[in-house]
Amino acid sequence: MHFTSEQRLDDGVLERAFTLDRGPGIPGILWTPASATASAPAPVILLGHPGGLRAMYPRLVGRARHAAANGFATATIESPGSGDRPRSGDAEQARADLRRAVLAGEPVDDEIVDRLVLPLVAKAVPEWQTALDAVLALPDIGGPVGYSGGVIAVGVRLALVEPRIVAAGLFAGSYVPRATFDEARQVTIPLHVLLQWDDEGNDRQLALDLFDAFGSQEKTLQANMGGHTGVPPFAGEDAARFFARHLT
Amino acid sequence: MHFTSEQRLDDGVLERAFTLDRGPGIPGILWTPASATASAPAPVILLGHPGGLRAMYPRLVGRARHAAANGFATATIESPGSGDRPRSGDAEQARADLRRAVLAGEPVDDEIVDRLVLPLVAKAVPEWQTALDAVLALPDIGGPVGYSGGVIAVGVRLALVEPRIVAAGLFAGSYVPRATFDEARQVTIPLHVLLQWDDEGNDRQLALDLFDAFGSQEKTLQANMGGHTGVPPFAGEDAARFFARHLT
């Protein structure tokens, strides 16, 4: 990992862009609260997102500032096939098939979802783990680790295979592969699942079924109104308290 | 309303038992935080429950102390046909029919639910309103007013017909009359609905359908694990913050 730029935001949060030294390089951003030092390292939350760091930046930095106000560092990396990262022909084809089905008003075939999401999960999860190795090697960052956001299939796999992640706040979205349900049953870490009840692009029943499938003894579903991007401020605060309970 | 006993709890909360001067008298309890005075009257939350003040007391006083710590007074009254209040032959028959169906593993007929719950709602709601008149006439109690808990059909009716209630925290339970769904569609006040996901005595799908029916623009469903009586402490805190947002 090497840092490519650094700026101090007005609330004292240190924002550092980095490139992860894996293959052709994966861009990412690390935010640390002013309070984080080598003698008081900050716990870190990995910020999941649907891909496209540049377009997602305003929402990501908002989540990062909020987490920093609670004493948490946050880190995110670009998704495989998003931003400036090389496209995969198979993923582009699956995305085109998905778009065609949605525009035609047809149900989206499980097979299309598998072709779109499973390779993404398989690629993204080890990249998140490499990012975690690099971030935890920094003196001002410590454990434990949380994962927050989508893509939910990535979050589920990470919750299952990465023992350093002790709590996950997941954003319920559609297009969940059948295999993710099997993995969800084996997840045991505390979960806080956000569902936008009136999100028209979302399959609500699927989100409820996935929540039901999770094996965790502590799992909370919080459903709110406001559409896909309209998570109310108090829901962000409740999620922050979830991480405060489990990461501090 | 006249007070029948008074004690100061160890956290400074004043607990006053009262009888509501309506018909043969309805027993109730009022809790006020030490901070409540005539010059700084406390907002009040009505504490709903399934009936049986004596058996419910430990849970009610816990909720009252928690609310008082957030500056809220709380008040509750005995349900029609519960505790020392006269039984209704029709309600007892409906309860027996319900018990028989449940023990036989049969689905509970809508008609039984209507016979059991609708007369309860019709009786209880004006009693809550009388209690509210009396409580709000006290110098140390002010508006606005919240309703918290079950019976959910009573909470829905109150949310619809009592304009002094500006926010409701409802506990999702089974045996909801069909008419309650029609009323739910007309409710517009902010709602915070708690659902115990693994409550075996609860019809989860019915609870989700009722949440979906509510007409309120701000409505939150929070589902947790822990069984019927195992609402986790953090869920109580989230509910308290809901009332703090709307009653202060």
pLDDT in tens, A12-29: 999 999 999 877 799 999
Tell if the CB–CB gap between B234 and A241 is shorter than 8 Å. yes
3-state secondary structure of B179: helix
Closest CB to B225: pick one of A219, A237, A241. A219
For the stretch A29-84, pLDDT in tens is: 999 999 999 999 999 999 999 999 999 999 999 999 999 999 999 999 999 999 99
Q: Provide the 8-state DSSP code for A222.
A: E
**In which element (H, E) is residue A100 found?**
helix A89-103
Choosing among B212, B234, B237, B245, which should be mutated to test the A contact, i.e. which has the most A CBs within 10 A?
A: B234
pLDDT of residue A22: 76
Q: Which two tokens stand for residue A34?
A: 């002013």
> A-B interface: how many C-beta pairs under 8 angstroms?
54
Instruction: Report yes or no: B230 at the A interface, CB cutoff 8 Å.
Output: no
Contact (CB, 8 A) for A99 and A175: no
Q: Which two tokens stand for residue A86?
A: 């090389």
- Left if phi > 0, otherwise alpha if psi is -120 to 50, otherwise beta: which for A35? alpha
Which residues does chain B have with pLDDT short of 70?
Answer: none
Instruction: Report yes or no: B235 at the A interface, CB cutoff 8 Å.
Output: yes
- d(C-alpha A126, C-alpha A99), whole Å: 28
Compute the mean pLDDT over every residue in chain A, rounded to the nearest whole number.
94
Nearest CA of chain B to the CA of A19: how many Å? 38
The span from the first CA to the last CA of chain B, in angstroms, equals 26
Q: Which residues of chain A lie closer than 8 angstroms to B234, CB-CB?
A: 220, 241-242, 245
For the stretch A88-138, pLDDT in tens is: 999 999 999 999 998 998 888 999 999 999 999 999 999 999 999 999 999
Amino acid identity of residue B105, one-letter, is G
ipTM comes to 0.88
Tell if the CB–CB gap between B219 and A224 is shorter than 8 Å. yes
Closest CB to B223: pick one of A217, A220, A235. A220
Structural domains in chain A, CATH included, are 2-86+121-247 (3.40.50.1820)
Nearest CA of chain B to the CA of A239: how many Å? 10
Nearest CA of chain A to the CA of B212: how many Å? 8
- d(C-alpha A67, C-alpha A73), whole Å: 7
- d(C-alpha B5, C-alpha B169), whole Å: 28
- d(C-alpha A110, C-alpha A108), whole Å: 7
Instruction: Report yes or no: B23 at the A interface, CB cutoff 8 Å.
Output: no
pLDDT of residue A248: 86
pLDDT bucket at A228, cuts 50 / 70 / 90:
confident
Q: Give residue for tokens 């861009």.
A: A27
Nearest CA of chain A to the CA of B216: how many Å? 9
* Helix ranges (DSSP H) in A107-232: 110-136, 152-161, 178-186, 204-213
pLDDT of residue A178: 95
**For residue A1, pLDDT beyond 80:** yes
Can you give the three-state secondary structure of B48-95, one letter per residue? CCCCCHHHHHHHHHHHHHHHHHCCCEEEEECCCCCCCCCCCHHHHHHH
Tell if the CB–CB gap between A211 and B223 is shorter than 8 Å. yes
Instruction: Report yes or no: B237 at the A interface, CB cutoff 8 Å.
Output: yes
pLDDT of residue A84: 92
Find residues 195-214 of chain B whose CB sits inside 8 Å of chain A. Answer: 197, 208, 211-212
3-state secondary structure of A34: coil
Contact (CB, 8 A) for A12 and A25: no
- d(C-alpha A182, C-alpha A195), whole Å: 20
Tell if the CB–CB gap between A219 and B221 is shorter than 8 Å. no
pLDDT of residue B173: 81
Q: Give residue for tokens 């501090």.
A: A248
Instruction: Report yes or no: B238 at the A interface, CB cutoff 8 Å.
Output: yes
- d(C-alpha A163, C-alpha A159), whole Å: 8
